[in-house]
Amino acid sequence: MKALLARALDLLYPPRCVSCGAFGPSLCDGCAARLAPARGPDRCGRCGARRDPSAACGGCAGWVALDGASAAFEMEGPARRIVHGLKYRGVRDLAEPMAEALWPLVRELGAETAIFAIPLHWRRRRSRGFNQSEVILGRLGTRPAPGRLERTRATASQVGLDARARRRNVAGAFRYRGPALDGAAVAVLDDVVTTGATAEECARVLRAHGAGRVHAIAYARAVNAPGQRPD
């Protein structure tokens, strides 16, 4: 019955590319080819942000608990529309190409790394209907983490906040439930990384429970620009 309903919906509302609107898969080959990688020699080796090679990186200067961060693509063009398509329009099929793009980053971390999805507060999760980070993690199919991260309080949107305000906004907003991590290598996964404030706070909590190396991975890397919707 579900298969018949899905087929009927496809006939009435044919699938389209979330980026260009062409009929077909949720991400067409042409738009996939235009994704801008968020890696290269002009970037900080720790956080992946673009920087002047002759100067120190200011993007990760305030990180204490987080060892590093990496993203697959720049938060621009098709990547921005993909992130918004999953998060705000609920096009869950997009989690598949997003997870596929994250696989090289996951392999670099090593098979022993436990991956935690960045949690949403229950009110936001209920209004959205899902946690986009959990959906992407589910498509990765990695081994389950030994415990779970939880968001203990609702926080204001990070959109438009500078790095300091973002850190204040998420301070004390997470907790870990599960066994001691005993020096385990762990990673936190999100759809977008901007200043790393949320990942840094999650890393602090995980280290308090014994985590060793803590890395952040994300589908897209955004610039903290007021008026954008990176988070």
Residue 161 clears pLDDT 60, i.e. is over it: yes
What pTM did the predictor assign? 0.87
Q: What is the pLDDT of residue 97?
A: 95
Q: 64-231 belongs to which CATH class?
A: alpha beta
Pairwise CA distance, residues 176 & 18, whole Å: 35
Q: What residues does each domain of the chain span?
A: 1-34, 64-231
Please count the other Cβ atoms lying within 10 Å of the Cβ belonging to residue 140: 17
Edge-first strand listing for the sheet containing 68-74: 68-74, 214-221, 186-193, 114-117
Looking at residues 41-50, what average pLDDT do you find? 86
